């Protein structure tokens, strides 16, 4: 069983997709051991509690230093014996020590086709605003492993989504979630849990 801990900051619709697909056995051999939010008001925490999943808020604001916050986060993830950390709309930069300790064992969902519209400052609705401002016709979502950079790690899965002429950032965000994010994040977890993909250098390869 792959033990996953999901890190969130907001609504938690990606978390919900993971919970539902574990319950429906579309994600196999996976146990969701806990959910951590930096934001005490994140609805994602309620979603976890409704399904009997341990849910904790670890906020940087509750600690005197960044180091203390980082240590508290790492301690909980370690205590839950996490095999894979899943960033599902987690908007805090991860501690370097965590990225190193969990090398090739952290994945993130990003709401664009990396390497477009990613990196510092590109998160949530801002991504979709930038997509519409540039006038691209196709966008999408990416699941990637996390390395020391921002959105630079090996890419596991991507799915394209059409941009429509009358899209608003909100409408596009919703379509990218429905058509891409809620599908490829659970799928990537299932593939990792069942030994279907591996990281080789800066690439992800399918295991035959
Ligand atoms: C999702 O669209 C996710 O891709 C994005 O935040 C949203 C969280 O929604 N993540 C980023 O922008 C990370 N750079 P959710 O809380 O409903 O899952």
Q: Which residues contact 181 (CB under 8 A, 6 or more apart)?
A: 13, 14, 17, 109, 111, 141
Q: Which residues contact 160 (CB under 8 A, 6 or more apart)?
A: 113, 138, 139, 140, 180
In short, whether 177's Cβ falls inside 6 Å of ligand 1 is yes
pLDDT (mean) for 167-192: 98
The span from the CA of 81 to the CA of 40, in Å, is 23
pTM exceeds cut of 0.95:
yes
110 counts as catalytic: yes
Q: Which of 122, 192, 182 is nearest to 151 (CA)?
A: 122
DSSP code, position 111: S
Residue 22 confidence class, pLDDT cut points 50, 70, 90: very high
**In this predicted structure, what is the pLDDT of residue 55?**
98
In short, whether 10's Cβ falls inside 6 Å of ligand 1 is yes
Q: Report yes or no: 179 and 192 within 8 Å, Cβ to Cβ.
A: no
pLDDT (mean) for 172-195: 98
Ligand 1 pocket test target in 16, 111, 113, 158 with most atoms within 8 Å of CB: 111
Quote the mean pLDDT of the chain.
Answer: 97
DSSP code, position 8: E
The span from the CA of 24 to the CA of 141, in Å, is 23
**In this predicted structure, what is the pLDDT of residue 173?**
98
Residue 208 has pLDDT above 90, yes or no: no
pLDDT (mean) for 121-149: 97
The span from the CA of 153 to the CA of 115, in Å, is 10
User: C-alpha angle 88/91/93, rounded to 5°?
Assistant: 110
**In this predicted structure, what is the pLDDT of residue 106?**
98
Question: Which ligand 1 atom is nearest residue 91's CA?
Answer: 13
Active-site entry in 70, 110, 128, 144: 110
What pLDDT digit, counting tens, does each position of 73-129 carry? 999 999 999 999 999 999 999 999 999 999 999 999 999 999 999 999 999 999 999
In short, whether 88's Cβ falls inside 6 Å of ligand 1 is yes
Return the percentage of the chain with pLDDT > 70, whole number.
Answer: 100
User: C-alpha angle 101/85/50, rounded to 5°?
Assistant: 145
Which phi and psi angles does 172 have, rounded to 5°?
Answer: -70, -40
Question: Which ligand 1 atom is nearest residue 123's CA?
Answer: 12
What pLDDT digit, counting tens, does each position of 47-63 carry? 999 999 999 999 999 99
- Cα of 205 vs centre of ligand 1, distance in Å, is 25
**In this predicted structure, what is the pLDDT of residue 4?**
98
CA pseudo-torsion sign 196, 199, 203, 208: negative
């Amino acid at each position: 069983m792959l033990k996953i801990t999901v890190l969130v900051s907001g609504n938690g619709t990606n978390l919900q997709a993971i919970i539902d697909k574990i319950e429906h056995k579309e994600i196999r051999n996976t146990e969701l051991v806990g959910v951590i939010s930096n934001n005490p008001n994140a609805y994602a925490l309620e979603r976890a509690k409704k399904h009997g999943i341990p849910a904790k808020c670890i906020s940087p604001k509750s600690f005197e230093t960044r180091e203390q916050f980082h240590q508290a986060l790492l301690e909980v993830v370690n205590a839950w014996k996490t095999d894979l950390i899943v960033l599902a709309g987690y908007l805090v930069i991860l501690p370097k020590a965590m990225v190193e300790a969990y090398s090739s064992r952290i994945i993130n969902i990003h709401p664009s086709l990396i390497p477009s519209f990613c990196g510092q400052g590109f998160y949530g609705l801002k991504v979709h605003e930038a997509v519409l401002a540039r006038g691209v016709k196709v966008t999408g979502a990416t699941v990637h492993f996390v390395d020391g950079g921002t959105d630079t790690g090996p890419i596991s899965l991507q799915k394209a989504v059409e941009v429509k002429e009358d899209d608003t950032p909100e409408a596009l965000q919703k379509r990218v979630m429905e058509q891409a994010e809620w599908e490829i994040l659970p799928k990537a977890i299932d593939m990792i849990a069942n030994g279907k993909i591996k990281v080789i250098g800066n690439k992800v390869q399918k295991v035959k």
